[in-house]
Each structure stands twice: as structure tokens, then as C-alpha cells.
Amino acid sequence: MSSCEFTHFDEQGNAVMVDVTDKPVTERMAQAEGTIHVSPEVIEAIRGHRVKKGDVLTVAQVAGIMGTKKTSELIPMSHLLNLTGSGVTFTIQDEDSSIHAVCTAKTAGRTGVEMEALTGVTAALLTIYDMCKAIDRRMCITDVHLVEKHGGRSGDFYYADNPAPRDAPPCPAPGISHECYSGADRIASVYSCPGMQTL
């Protein structure tokens, strides 16, 4: 498959949900992580249960699990999956005043749960922001990415073995570039590939 071939487009360039009918049912697992950088005051308020909206990490944990279950309603071409497991964990890191989140999603099905794990960790981090923004609106969510995935035709994936390049070219502004391009063998941004219909 070339860098400009995507499964969510048909031959006419129309957006489609991938048909997974003929795929076998297998055990699937995906884990994603991300970090929110906060002020020391936020860390102290979370630890001391002094945030007015409630227990921040408990609420964010529930939000992350809910996010995994609602993924198909947020990501247009993702499939509605029957999850068999979902969980979120947090680690407070005092050295850089941040909170690291990890979301794990599992299913037995015909397609993977990468998007569920990514949506879950993002929802968890956004919830931390929402609950603590009265203390600090400068909080910054960073490095949300897939850590690993197992099952399915493509096999196992480990981010540690395939880290994203940090020197990838910036995404072009809409209307500036209408070609596929890659940075370090990956697609950095696509606005319209050759042969695809432009909306």
C-alpha cells in the first residue's frame, strides 16, 4: 500500500466505513498514553482533594472509560465495538509537575481498539483540565499516542520500536498544499491525495 492509499476511501474518493465482515474474530488489545502538564498548585489541590468539582482523578478515570465506550459516536469511521475491558490509570510526576495517563481497551472482534484507547486517554486528560481550569488555565496536554496494540491481521505494534519522528515537517495550512507528503516514512498530513475527490 502506498502512502496515499487509505482504507476509509473508496475508488471514487468517497468516505466509507471499512467492511470487516470477512475478518476473523480475534482477541484485541490497545493501550494509549498522554500527559497533562499542570502547575504545582494543581498537583497540591488534586492530592489534597481541594478541587471544588470533586475527586479529579476518580472522575477523570470514569470519563476515560466512558470515552472508550463512546468512541464510535465521536470518530466518524470507527466501528461500534463490544468492549470486553477498559481502564485508565494515572501517575503524578512531581519532577515536572505533570500527570501521566494510560488507557487500555480490550475486545474480541473483527477490528482493533486503538481508537478506543486513544479516545479514552484523551477524555481522561480533558476531564482533568476541565476540573482544574479554575486554578490554572495554562495546563497543556501533550504526547497522546498509541503505546501498543495486539491482535488482528497487522499483528503486534509497540511504540517503543516505532517512535514518531520529532523532525517531521509541519502540517501545511489548508489551501497551501494539496499533495500527500511524508516525513521519515510516515504521512504527516493529507489534504487530498491523487485520484481522491476533494470535498
153-175 pLDDT tens trace = 888 999 998 776 655 444 343 33
Q: How many other C-beta atoms are found inside a 10 Å radius of the C-beta of residue 135?
A: 17
**E-only strand ranges, the chain:** 26-37, 83-93, 98-109, 140-150, 157-158, 181-182, 187-189
Q: Using CA of residue 152, residue 163, residue 94, residue 39, what is the dihedral sign?
A: negative
Among 198, 174, 196, smallest CA distance to 11 is for 196
Question: pLDDT of 125-164, one tens digit each?
Answer: 999 999 999 999 999 999 999 999 999 888 899 999 877 6
Among 76, 54, 66, 132, smallest CA distance to 99 is for 132
Residue 130's identity, in one-letter code, is D
Superfamily, domain 26-155: Molybdopterin cofactor biosynthesis C (MoaC) domain (3.30.70.640)
Question: pLDDT of 50-63, one tens digit each?
Answer: 999 999 999 999 99
Confidence of residue 179 (pLDDT cuts 50, 70, 90): very low
Per the model's pLDDT, the better-predicted residue between 153 and 183 turns out to be: 153
Q: What's the mean per-residue pLDDT of the chain?
A: 83
Phi, psi angle pair for 107, to nearest 5°: -160, 165
Per the model's pLDDT, the better-predicted residue between 173 and 69 turns out to be: 69
SS3 content of the chain, % helix, strand, coil (to 5): 25, 30, 45
The 8-class DSSP code of residue 191 comes to S
Region 71-100: mean pLDDT is 96
Please classify residue 151 by burial: count the beta carbons closer than 10 Å to its beta carbon, then call 0-12 exposed, 13-18 middle and 19+ buried: buried
Question: Annotated active-site positions, please?
Answer: 130
What's the pLDDT at 16? Answer: 79
- d(CA 42, CA 139) in angstroms, rounded, equals 9
3-state class (DSSP) for residue 57: helix
- d(CA 43, CA 84) in angstroms, rounded, equals 33
Q: Residue ranges of the domains in the chain?
A: 26-155, 167-194
What's the pLDDT at 169? Answer: 46
Confidence of residue 18 (pLDDT cuts 50, 70, 90): confident
pTM of the model: 0.77
pLDDT at 70 exceeding the cut of 90: yes
What's the pLDDT at 10? Answer: 67
